[in-house]
Amino acid sequence: MTPPNSPETPESAPRPSNFIREIIIDDVRTGKHNGRVITRFPPEPNGYLHIGHAKSICLNFGLAKEFGGATNLRFDDTNPEKEEQEYVDSIIANVQWLGFQWQDPIHYASDYFQQLYDWAIQLIRGGKAFVCDLNAEQMRQHRGTLTEPGTPSPFRDRSVEENLDLFARMKNGEFPDGARTLRAKIDMASPNLNMRDPVMYRILNAEHHRTGNTWCIYPMYDYAHGQSDSIEGITHSLCTLEFEDHRPLYDWFVQQLGIFAPRQIEFDRLNLTYTLLSKRKLLQLVQDGHVRGWDDPRMPTLAGIRRRGYTPEAMRNFCANIGISKTNGTIELGLLEHYVREDLNKRAPRYMAVLNPVKVVIENYPEGETEWLDAVNNPEDESAGTRKVPFSRVLYIEQDDFKEDPPRQFFRLSPGREVRLRWGFYITCQSVVKDDAGNIVELRCTYDPATRGGGAPDGRKVKATIHWVSAEQALDAEVRVYNTLFSKENPNEVEEGQDFLANINPNSLEVITGGKLEPALGTLKPFDGVQFERLGYFCVDPDSTPGKPVFNRTVALRDTWAKIEKRDKAK
């Protein structure tokens, strides 16, 4: 197999394997299912997809593709109270954004409601299911505990006829919500709680986003999932570790029904430092206004990271390399950022932008004059070409790039020192202008016309190259700089009586309004990703308006100087 996006990269580094892939290799080798591999990605449409889902998507689609199979997209829509069309739409868009194509058509568990109902009747006829009149509280009491067996429902031995009648009446809407359930008749003494006569159907007079009011009884996950897999001919049904205890039940239904038996295999859920991957908690962040929405660039949702500027390629590389196992681990955020930088470094065009400007006046440059200098768009990609950047007497540079009293390893501009302006000239700082309060308002510099383009004919060297923007042509921009949403590696680690909200990082969003951009940056479209030289990768936010661009910082560049500074401060 050839990776589609990297023709120059031979398959030198073999795709990392994992235990599921080994199982499939073995199945294919032994001719199980005639070598067919069909997987599925089965989200419940009750929220937005997040990075954890990306791992599952990459696994399912990746494996099927590798073995010449296919992957179904199936919505597990068996709980109408929590599910909405909005979520269906966003999930479809997210899967496509990640770059995967499912086998047509899109499936829904709700497509199988009638078949599931018919199978339930079959189980009733076989004495394998019964209608139970216990309410939720009573059922809990009968279930027993982790250490004590349960006790059978008093309704367990109803006749087949009575069960058939009652179940039909449940379906016909004769009973209120919660009045009765249909339960599988398995083993109330099983050490696995899932096998203690689990509920198959509950009465729910709720409108379903697809089936409307056709049904007032809805199948439970355990009853619907395996059979849905079976109907679709799924060969390998991959899910996360918490479903291990459900596998015996999954197998039980399929076996009792005598239908095609997929194999459920469980793998570890993704955890990321400084990040929460729980739909419930993400929903709370949105509803309580801690973030600006599901697609807030600080959110770990796919909509959020897309807006943040993370690329599908980076996400796929990340997922392919974190591995699949059964260990409960936590990936460091830095690893994700590594893959983002790696991808963007190859592809993002470079521009110059000054986020915290200080004015520089080139004293020996003529007033009112502008010249256009050539700048390389991407040193990593010659085909990206060059562009013109205006240079004039008044410029902006980054405040951090000047220190009146430079510390030992500071190479940038300071009084009397010469540095290079990227793609421009060598300049030397002659004097510093301050206001009455002592704040620096302006740097007076001179330039060397012989260094045009950045080279010195006499061969003299400078230790630093800094970025800059010509004041006259500069575009004003809002730049949103993001930090982690939580200040703790594990946001769930809290003191007694607190919840994860206590760990929200108050500095997760920093809005810079006085950013200065080189003019070429005005031609970009929303979601375009670029590098601001020496600062990081940024992308255009959809909040941008024609006169007022808004950028999001995707991820900062690795910053050796910041590291030195931090270390020195710690001393």
User: Which neighbouring-strand residues pair with 389?
Assistant: 373
| Terminal-residue alpha carbon distance, the chain | 52
Which residues lie below 8 Å from residue 135, measured CB to CB, with a gap of 6+?
A: 178, 179
- Contact, 523 vs 511, CB < 8 A? no
Asked whether position 327 contacts RNA by CB under 7 A, the answer is: yes
Name which of residues 356 to 385 contact RNA (CB under 7 A): 378-380
> Which residue has tokens 């697609």?
295
Sole binder of RNA in the list 126, 154, 173, 191 (CB under 7 A): 191
269 is an active site residue: yes
Q: Which residue among 21, 36, 44, 444 is the active-site one?
A: 44
CB of 527 to RNA, least distance (A): 21
CB of 139 to RNA, least distance (A): 5
Q: Which residue among 171, 185, 279, 480 is the active-site one?
A: 279
Asked whether position 542 contacts RNA by CB under 7 A, the answer is: no
Which region, left, alpha or beta, applies to residue 353 given φ > 0 means left and ψ of -120 to 50 means alpha?
Answer: beta
CB of 357 to RNA, least distance (A): 17
Q: Which residue among 21, 32, 82, 269 is the active-site one?
A: 269
Asked whether position 554 contacts RNA by CB under 7 A, the answer is: no
Asked whether position 76 contacts RNA by CB under 7 A, the answer is: yes
Sole binder of RNA in the list 409, 498, 507, 513 (CB under 7 A): 409
The alpha helices in 440-550, defined as continuous H runs, are none
158 is an active site residue: no
Sole binder of RNA in the list 39, 71, 78, 153 (CB under 7 A): 78
Count the helix, strand and coil residues of the chain and give each as a percent rounded to the nearest 5.
35, 25, 45
CB of 513 to RNA, least distance (A): 23
Element (H, E) at 187: none
CB of 32 to RNA, least distance (A): 18
Q: What angle do CA 133, 137, 139 make, to 5 degrees?
A: 50
Candidate segments 56-64, 257-265, 298-306, 333-341, binder of RNA by CB under 7 A = 333-341
Beta-strand runs (E) in 272-332: none
Sole binder of RNA in the list 198, 304, 309, 529 (CB under 7 A): 198
Amino acid at 276: L
Among the listed residues 395, 388, 354, 350, the one whose alpha carbon sits nearest the alpha carbon of residue 516: 354
- Contact, 66 vs 209, CB < 8 A? no
Give the count of residues interacting with RNA (CB under 7 A).
93
Sole binder of RNA in the list 193, 433, 441, 450 (CB under 7 A): 193
- Contact, 226 vs 253, CB < 8 A? yes
Name which of residues 123 to 182 contact RNA (CB under 7 A): 134-136, 139-140, 143, 145-147, 177-181
Residue 166, SS3?
helix
Summary count for the chain: helices (H), strands (E): 13, 25
Sole binder of RNA in the list 188, 241, 475, 501 (CB under 7 A): 241
How far is it, in rounded angstroms, from Cα 300 to Cα 271? 11
422 is an active site residue: no
CB of 490 to RNA, least distance (A): 10
- Contact, 164 vs 127, CB < 8 A? no
Sole binder of RNA in the list 16, 154, 173, 385 (CB under 7 A): 16
Nearer to RNA, 296 or 353 (CB): 353
Name which of residues 257 to 276 contact RNA (CB under 7 A): 268
Sole binder of RNA in the list 57, 305, 314, 324 (CB under 7 A): 324
Give the strand order in the sheet containing 426-434: 465-466, 418-421, 426-434, 440-448, 357-362, 394-398, 468-470
Candidate segments 50-58, 160-168, 458-466, 520-528, binder of RNA by CB under 7 A = 458-466
How far is it, in rounded angstroms, from Cα 354 to Cα 256? 68
Candidate segments 306-314, 332-340, 470-478, 544-552, binder of RNA by CB under 7 A = 332-340
Asked whether position 422 contacts RNA by CB under 7 A, the answer is: yes
Nearer to RNA, 80 or 297 (CB): 80
Active site residues: 44, 269, 279
